[in-house]
Amino acid sequence: MAAAKGAAAVSGEIEFTGERFIPGTRGEIWVEHWHRYHFAERWARGRRVLDVACGEGYGAALLAGSAAHVTGIDISPASIEHARHAYGSAPNVEFVAASCAQLPVASASFDVVVSFETLEHIHEHDAFLAEIARVLKPEGVLLLSCPNRLEYSDKRAFANEFHVKELYREELAALLGSRFPETSWYGQRPSFFSVIAAEGSAPRAGALLEVAEADPASATAALASPLYFIVVASRARKSLEQLEPEVSVLADRDEWVHRDYEKVMRDLGGAAAEREQALELVAERDRAIDFMHRDVVEWKRLKAASDASLEQARIDHARELERLGAELRARDTAIAAKDYEIVRRGGLRWWLKLPLYRLGILKHPPV
């Protein structure tokens, strides 16, 4: 168990990609993975255990705290090298790089096989189960988990890029039933919970109550929609009846999930306040735009009126100029007619006297 606690200190040697869980990874994923190994521990006590697809080794190290011996197998050489470095100092744990469809161990050599979240990553389901059946003793126990395709993918419209073949419940039951006729099914789903536990560590029966917020007075004694299946399987019924728990609860001592939920809700509250502020700013902007729009409309109206007034003034001015021009032309015509009449009446004499009049020699104009 001590080796398992030190996982976070060295887990940085492997990068978390989402394909394998790495201790120290934040989110509900750590609750899911650690709970499975704690759940399996009761079957591992004092027995020889094979952890297939052990990943970076944290689970095998946890089981080694109470098992007689644990062998961890994973197809990733890098993960196995990390596991050896992180947990290999324990005398009863070893790690081997190999495929889960070709396990390099003797037949009927293990009391317990643990394989969590493996099936969905491979196509060779039959070969995998055949190998597990081969290496287990006749009364041995298999603890296996995999996503519930209906809840995990279908209802959430979610596709995990690392999963190649997820199963529905009936498919998993058929796959296991051909080699392990005795099974006990459990459902796992991360959730908020309220724990009521007796003081002390004396073994007691547990109880599961699932309720909905809309109808908290009605409770059921089973998970309605498990996200993951955990199946305990064997060829001997007595191997299952000895250690089956009624319910298993992994309580987070640091309340990470709840604190993270509270943080998310605070962030959402802050975001809601910021949204209200943003909406008010938008409303203020819209009011300003509307005010400016009204100003523009009024300016256009005044400009149109001014343009019309200027156009009318231009027309009136042109008409006035035309009238004055007509008057001038009429006067010019009258003057011309007068001059003509004077010339006609005075003749040459008048024209001869006119310069003398203009020079002041004659006192009276010629007639």
Model confidence pLDDT, tens digit, residues 88-132: 999 999 999 999 999 999 999 999 999 999 999 999 999 999 999
3-state secondary structure the chain: CHHHHCHHHHHHHCCCCCCCCCCCCCCCHHHHHHHHHHHHHHHHCCCEEEEECCCCCHHHHHHHCCCCEEEEEECCHHHHHHHHHHHCCCCCEEEEECCCCCCCCCCCCEEEEEEECCHHHCCCHHHHHHHHHHHEEEEEEEEEEEEEHHHHHHCCCCCCCCCCCCECHHHHHHHHHCCCCEEEEEEECCCCCCCCCCCCCCCCCCCCCEEECCEEEEEECCCCCCCEEEEEEECCCHHHHCCCCCCCCCCCCCCHHHHHHHHHHHHHHHHHHHHHHHHHHHHHHHHHHHHHHHHHHHHHHHHHHHHHHHHHHHHHHHHHHHHHHHHHHHHHHHHHHHHHHHHHHHHHHHHHHHHHHHCCCCCCCCC
pLDDT at res. 6: 39
Question: How much is the pTM?
Answer: 0.67
pLDDT tens digits for range 230-268: 999 999 988 887 677 778 888 777 776 667 777 777 787
